[in-house]
């Protein structure tokens, strides 16, 4: 029997495991091997995920599971993404969906965001969780590599309302050598579809000498889908198999991004201390409408929010946001 959750379409006949090792065939159906088992369940600022145009200022419960359908050579979460999921015990917690929602509420979280690994690894648990979250009025978002089939992209769209999609590179050679997939085409198709179904932001890690020549082409694709999509460019400090590789040059990337802003205005550049590319500027008049503070490595927070609703206070241009600004609520936060 073929698994149709992602574009690998693995054959799970006779008890074999697919690329991600997270599903098995049982009684003519695809079953999750480790339901309700989470590798992460901690509150965070939504800006740190990052989401810059969704529920600004809010606190989310960041969850993750194990397994991945990609084999990125630079993976920073290889502990949960690349290990045999059956062998990971340390730090994994089992919580039923209703218990997870209760925990999110206790911690003062406004939403739930799937991060760490790939949500397509845990579809059945997430479908159940989405049902509970809907009942509790809690929005759900995710980071995804969007290597899902057309059917399961619809499933993603029914579970989550906001997405940060990883678009790592366009060239087949890059995708084959650095990510381990034959083509980026399904991802491009799914970015278009998810942008129609919900709120989308896109993230691209810049890897020195691997995809740094493709920035403009990637930006043109995003602008063609929708020029209001926020684009997060991450200066990648390679881990895992690429540990020791050269760090991308900040000035060279910033120079390339400056000209991209002309056709894709909401460009953000992350992962170095003191970046002033973490603020939102009004594309028409240049006023800084949302100011953020960045510690350089995923420690972002809202500093000031001067939009009037979702309008620039100076010229009235729409700054597209998914959800309104949410007041930071009291409660325990570890980050």
Binding site for Zn ion (CB under 5 A): 282, 284-285, 287, 312, 314-315, 317
| Nearest CB to Zn ion, comparing residues 105 and 325 | 325
CB < 8 Å & 24+ apart, contacts of 195-199: 195/225, 195/226, 195/229, 197/154, 197/157, 198/157, 198/160, 198/161, 198/162, 198/163, 198/322, 199/53, 199/54, 199/141, 199/161, 199/162, 199/163, 199/322
> Could you tell me the two tokens for 125?
């648990």
> Could you tell me the two tokens for 203?
């993230």
Nearest approach, Cβ of 321 to Zn ion (angstroms)? 14
Nearest approach, Cβ of 286 to Zn ion (angstroms)? 7
Cis peptide before 50 (omega within 30 of 0): yes
Cβ atoms of residues 288 and 279 within 8 Å = yes
Cβ atoms of residues 287 and 312 within 8 Å = yes
Nearest approach, Cβ of 229 to Zn ion (angstroms)? 19
| Nearest CB to Zn ion, comparing residues 295 and 315 | 315
| Nearest CB to Zn ion, comparing residues 287 and 310 | 287
| Nearest CB to Zn ion, comparing residues 166 and 265 | 265
| Nearest CB to Zn ion, comparing residues 73 and 281 | 281
Nearest approach, Cβ of 281 to Zn ion (angstroms)? 8
What does DSSP say about strands 23-26 and 29-32: parallel, antiparallel, or unpaired? antiparallel
Nearest approach, Cβ of 289 to Zn ion (angstroms)? 7
- The string of DSSP codes covering 20-77 is S--EEEETTEEEESSTTEESEEEEEEGGGTT-SSBSTT-EEEEEE-S--S---TT-S-
> Could you tell me the two tokens for 92?
């994994």
Nearest approach, Cβ of 283 to Zn ion (angstroms)? 8
Nearest approach, Cβ of 303 to Zn ion (angstroms)? 19
| Nearest CB to Zn ion, comparing residues 59 and 292 | 292
Nearest approach, Cβ of 290 to Zn ion (angstroms)? 12
Nearest approach, Cβ of 267 to Zn ion (angstroms)? 17
Nearest to 68 by CA among 79, 56, 58: 79
Distances (CA, A) of 256 to 201, 214, 215, 267: 20, 10, 8, 11
| Nearest CB to Zn ion, comparing residues 282 and 321 | 282
Residues 6+ apart with CB under 8 A from 270: 50, 232, 233, 234, 235, 277, 278, 294, 300
| Nearest CB to Zn ion, comparing residues 56 and 141 | 56
Which phi and psi (to 5°) does residue 24 adopt?
Answer: -135, 160
Nearest to 91 by CA among 135, 37, 28: 37
Residues 6+ apart with CB under 8 A from 172: 182, 183, 184
Residue in the block written with tokens 């000209």: 259
């Amino acid at each position: 029997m073929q698994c149709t959750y992602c574009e690998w379409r693995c054959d799970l006949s006779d008890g074999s495991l697919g690329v991600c090792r997270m599903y098995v065939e049982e009684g003519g159906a695809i079953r999750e091997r480790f339901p309700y088992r989470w590798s992460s369940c901690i509150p965070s600022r939504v800006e740190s995920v990052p989401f810059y145009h969704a529920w600004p200022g809010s606190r989310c419960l960041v969850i993750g599971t194990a397994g991945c359908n990609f084999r990125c050579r630079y993976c920073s979460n290889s502990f949960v993404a690349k290990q045999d999921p059956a062998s990971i015990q340390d730090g994994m917690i089992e919580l039923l969906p209703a218990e997870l929602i209760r925990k999110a509420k206790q911690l003062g979280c406004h939403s739930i965001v799937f991060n760490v690994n790939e949500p397509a690894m845990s579809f059945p648990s997430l479908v159940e969780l989405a049902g509970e979250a809907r009942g509790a009025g809690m929005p759900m978002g995710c980071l995804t590599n969007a290597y899902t089939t057309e059917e399961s992209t619809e499933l993603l769209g029914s579970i989550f309302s906001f997405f940060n999609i990883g678009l790592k590179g366009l060239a087949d050679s890059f995708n084959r050598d650095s990510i381990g997939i034959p083509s980026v085409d399904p991802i491009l198709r799914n970015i278009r579809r998810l942008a129609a179904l919900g709120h989308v932001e896109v993230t691209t890690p810049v890897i020195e000498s691997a995809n740094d020549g493709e920035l403009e082409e990637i930006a043109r694709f995003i602008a063609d889908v929708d020029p209001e999509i926020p684009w997060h460019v991450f200066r990648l400090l390679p881990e895992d198999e690429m540990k020791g590789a050269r760090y991308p040059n900040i000035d060279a990337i910033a120079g390339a991004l400056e000209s991209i802003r002309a056709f894709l205005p909401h460009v953000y550049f992350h992962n170095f201390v003191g970046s002033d590319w973490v603020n939102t500027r009004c594309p028409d008049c240049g006023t800084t409408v949302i100011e953020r503070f960045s510690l350089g490595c995923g420690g972002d927070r809202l500093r000031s929010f001067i939009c009037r609703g979702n309008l620039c206070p100076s010229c009235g241009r729409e700054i597209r946001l998914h959800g309104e600004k949410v007041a930071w609520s009291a409660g325990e936060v570890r980050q």
